[in-house]
Amino acid sequence: MGFTAVWISPIVKQIDGATKDGSSYHGYWASDIWSLNPSFGTADDLKGLSKALHDRGMYLMVDVVTNHMAYLGCRSCVNYQGLNPFSSQSYYHSPCTINYDNQTSVEICWQGSDVVSLPDLKTENDGVRKIWNDWVSKIVSTYGIDGLRIDSVKHVEKSFWPGFESAAGVYAIGEVFQGDPAYLAPYQSYISGLLDYASYYWTVNAFQSTNGSITALANGINTLKAAAIDLSLYGSFLENHDQARFAHKTSDMALAKNAIAFTMLKDGIPIIYQGQEQHYAGSDTPYNREALWLSGYSTNSELYTWIKRLNQLRTHAISKDDGYLSYRAWPIYSDSHTIAMRKGYSGKQVVGVFTNVGASSSTTATLSSSASGFSANQQITDVLQDRLRRQHNRHTFWGTPKDLIPYSGSQWQRHLFLKLNSHFDRKHNFRSSYINFVVGVNILHCHCGAHHRQRSG
């Protein structure tokens, strides 16, 4: 599919046992951060995965959790001595229930339940910070890790993140599980990248049905554009392991294609969650964490080939324009069913037109030359349909999106990012992660700054 990085589940040792809250297959219930999860394999397996990716010019991103540890039991009966290295109650905040209307409560109170409690670490404590900084520096150097996806970022005070990312020495992207740009965007002053939950909600709402709100999507994109520090370092996604699959909301393939194309061609680093390319339709957790092998790893499925083509388009645009990634995409047209986005400077721009009319309908849109950057009668390429066109402003769209670029005879290259997740009822190891997903992967070149943005976006 043209990916260049793989994001895998947290690698540390977990609590054991099956509960009515599930088991720790996902990696977010740590009991010992200095040991690897034996269900995933050995240290040599992880090093082998890292080397195999690097030998192919690809990158390894690892999910990490710094907010909490885990205990199989109630909040008031935690045996802290069984947690390593945070083996004393003094390392933790006192148990309390989170009030999501109070930021202090969000940061010091406990996630989890009285079935599986998640003791909340005092990350404001210098001793706790030193342990985490030493740990992340060690795992990055030991396993050749190129980037970090960080869980539960809003549950940790902001001042924790600069030192942690600096100790890691690699790019980090944080999960701030909140759709309000005013809440989300300020976190980028403390951590390089953010998962774009704001755009996620607008995009799903716009394309999950033929009655979705394109207006809210267009307005939201402009709001986020004004609030964000650097959208090129956001992670753009339509699915992940915490949300119901898009195909659970609608089986219309045209809507899925429009939603995927929108997320991959707007600002940010595209993220595809494993199984999305096979049109998996699982509902909420854990049913959105289906085993990928059930698909037979088809490389001919409709969305697999669709994502591959979008990757080629994006990488081609990056190769032609040094400013493509820093250019902030903007809506150049919108109506009740259609939105057109432009990204890139004139002569090298990509204009994407996306609609929620669905597979059985069509619509028309008129794009002005001043907004699109295409002049009258200019020859352009409809990339996704393999057609040459003349710019005549008015176009008809049959459900599927259009992506227009100035015509050239050049070949496209590849690029993107794939999220791998552990299946919810079977073991998954580092070695099989590589074998099962050799079809291609990318997230980003995990070194911060301009070099990162230019190389991997």
Catalytic residue among 32, 63, 151, 252: 151
Catalytic residue among 120, 175, 290, 321: 175
**Known catalytic membership, residue 175:** yes
Whether residue 33 contacts residue 119, with contact meaning beta carbons closer than 8 Å, is answered with no
338 in Cβ contact with 363 (< 8 Å): yes
What residues have CB less than 8 Å from 249, skipping those under 6 apart?
204, 208, 209
CB 434 within 8 A of CB 396: no
Contacts of 376 (CB under 8 A, 6+ apart): 369, 391, 392, 393
Q: How many residues does the chain have?
A: 457
The residues, ordered by sequence, that sit 6+ positions from 138 with a Cβ below 8 Å of its Cβ are none
Task: Kindly list the catalytic residues.
Answer: 151, 175
